[in-house]
Chain A
Amino acid sequence: MKLGYIIREGIIGIRRSRMPFMISVFSLTVALALVGIGTLAVDNGLQYIGDLQADYDLEVFLENETNTIQKREIAKIISEYPGVFRMDYLSKEDAAALYNAEFGEDVLSLLDDNPLPSSFRVTFSEDYRSALYIQSFIQSIALLDAVDEVMFKKDLFDRVQGILKSIYALAAAAIFLIILSTVFLTANNLRLMILARYEFIETVRLLGASDFMVKAPIFLEGGILGFIGGIIAVLIIAGLETALETYHIIDLPVRILHHPEVIIGMLLFGMSLSALGVLKAVRRMLRFVS
């Protein structure tokens, strides 16, 4: 069976060209680990900033005389406003409890009456978190009768937004560069690996092998190479994360082992990169072999 030959030859091929194979695995592992670490660093960074930003969403304070009907109307307007992801109502009692929790004093024991207003805490979904958009929201909500004030720490929000944008841009550029150098480095190593197989490729072609029979085992070899490289890269990243946590260097909200999609993505990227890389190198070589 030809499939038997392809599988056998793919595995034997690895054994025969052990050194170039190991060099290719090493370079691919380094490259994939860099891509993985870069992606996770960005994810973790974004998670930190996202958590930070969530603390600075806005609060709509209501006038003391606001009745239940007005509150319902305001709640309806806010919840139906495009981009509002979450809205929580805080009654005067909730506000007093929060004050108590934060400052350790009961507001009612200080004053006879609870002066704290009821409010709505509003969180916007990620796509709508721009200062401009939130400003327009504030302007329209502030016009409502029962609304006393809308609190929004714009400066802080702008800074967070700015940091976010810079991180996005830097991360995109860094990952792009890593991927580019990964492709270049791996393609070169794979080309060297295939070059070492010239004698074999020429001979089997002369013995009547079709191009498919020449390419298929090497394609398989490339896939195995990518898989091994991907697995080692995942293990390196997981090990690094564990070390960071064990020695309390940093707490990572996002970890690779909690994201099978990242692991699968890295394996698929490694496998496609190396399988297509060897295929391209073989194709190029076959141009010189009749």
Chain B
Amino acid sequence: MIHFDKVHLRFDTGISLRDLSFDIQKNEFVYLFGPSGSGKSSVLNLIYMDLFPNDGDVKIFDYNSSAVKRRDIANVRQKIGMIFQDFKLLADRDVFSNISLPLELQGFKSNAVKSKVVRQADALGLRSRLTHYPSELSVGEQQKVALARSMILSPDILLADEPTAHLDEKSTADVLDWIWKVHEAGTSVLFATHNEQLLKQNPARKITLSAGEIVEDRSF
């Protein structure tokens, strides 16, 4: 499903990723572990085709990012749910509109949009917040909105970039619980975190990055 082969990524400010090779299979749960600046977000952005490798191959589904056409990037992204570190919620739209945006872009009918959004909001305890704007929500609630939006199209892969970084203990447990449920329903998950505690609570395959290199890849 996801295939990295000798991937190098260089930024103007210096090298970000070196010689990365790994595969993620369908229905796998993988922690991408490492301290800040180790390259976790870069890996997720390579998968999301927001970044492109300088050397090596990144293959997502049947698309090789080195040769992908611009219109196919949209196709790839429609099959991937992404939880961004900064949430990327639209400040001028209420929670309902933020969650429903991927459905609207795919041309779902308004009845289907409504029922899917309400179901997702119920699952995350956001029902009473649907008419609120992001600025009226707590950080934990904003994170949940981002989660709801990322899964609204039932994607094959969920990429989560430090989804619990800004959350308190209770919200962290809720979010983690929800992501595991999503995984159990058949979605592959790549979960970037620097919190080792999460791995202990819910063990799974762990790819450890340090200074842009894989230093460990093992399953628990």
Contact = CB atoms under 8 A, between A and B. Distances in A.
Interface of A: 1-2, 4-5, 8-9, 16, 199-200, 202-211, 213, 290
Contacts, number: 56
A10 to B, nearest CB: 13
Contacts of A9: 104
A203 B150 CA distance: 12
A206 B92 contact: no
A8 B84 CA distance: 26
A206 B88 contact: yes
Given A1-B109, A16-B92, A290-B73, A208 B102 contact: yes
Given A211-B71, A290-B49, A200 B90 contact: yes
Contacts of A206: 48, 50, 77, 82, 84, 88
Interface size class of B (residues with CB under 8 A): 20 to 34
A215 to B, nearest CB: 12
Interface class of chain A by DSSP: helix
B107 A5 contact: yes
Given A5-B105, A199-B90, A290 B50 contact: yes
Interface in B76-126: 77-78, 82, 84, 88, 90-92, 101-102, 104-107, 109-110
25 contacts: A2-B105, A4-B107, A8-B104, A16-B92, A199-B90, A199-B91, A200-B90, A202-B88, A203-B90, A203-B101, A204-B105, A205-B74, A206-B84, A206-B88, A207-B77, A207-B149, A208-B106, A209-B74, A209-B105, A210-B74, A211-B70, A211-B71, A213-B105, A290-B51, A290-B52
Interface of B: 48-52, 70-71, 73-75, 77-78, 82, 84, 88, 90-92, 101-102, 104-107, 109-110, 149, 153
Contacts of A213: 74, 105
A205 B149 CA distance: 14
A46 B28 CA distance: 79
Given A16-B92, A290-B50, A208 B105 contact: yes
A119 B107 CA distance: 77
Contacts of A2: 105-107
Contacts of B101: 203-204, 207
A4 to B, nearest CB: 7
A9 B91 CA distance: 16
Contacts of A200: 90
B105 A207 contact: yes
B70 A208 contact: no
B107 to A, nearest CB: 4
Contacts of B92: 16
A211 B71 CA distance: 7
Nearest to B71: A210
Contacts of B110: 4
Given A5-B104, A5-B105, 11 more contacts: A1-B109, A8-B104, A203-B90, A206-B48, A206-B50, A206-B82, A207-B77, A208-B102, A208-B106, A213-B105, A290-B51
Contacts of B73: 290
Contacts of B52: 290
Nearest to B74: A210
A290 B107 CA distance: 22
A8 B102 CA distance: 15
A9 B101 CA distance: 10
A213 B103 CA distance: 12
A16 B49 CA distance: 29
Contacts of B88: 202-203, 206
Contacts of B71: 210-211
A140 B49 CA distance: 81
Contacts of B107: 1-2, 4-5
A8 B73 CA distance: 25
A16 B107 CA distance: 21
Nearest to A1: B107
Contacts of A203: 88, 90, 101
Interface centre among A1, A200, A210 (most CB of B within 10 A): A210
Which of B50, B90, B105 lies at the interface centre, i.e. has the most chain A CB atoms within 10 A of its CB?
B105
Nearest to B49: A290
Nearest to B149: A207
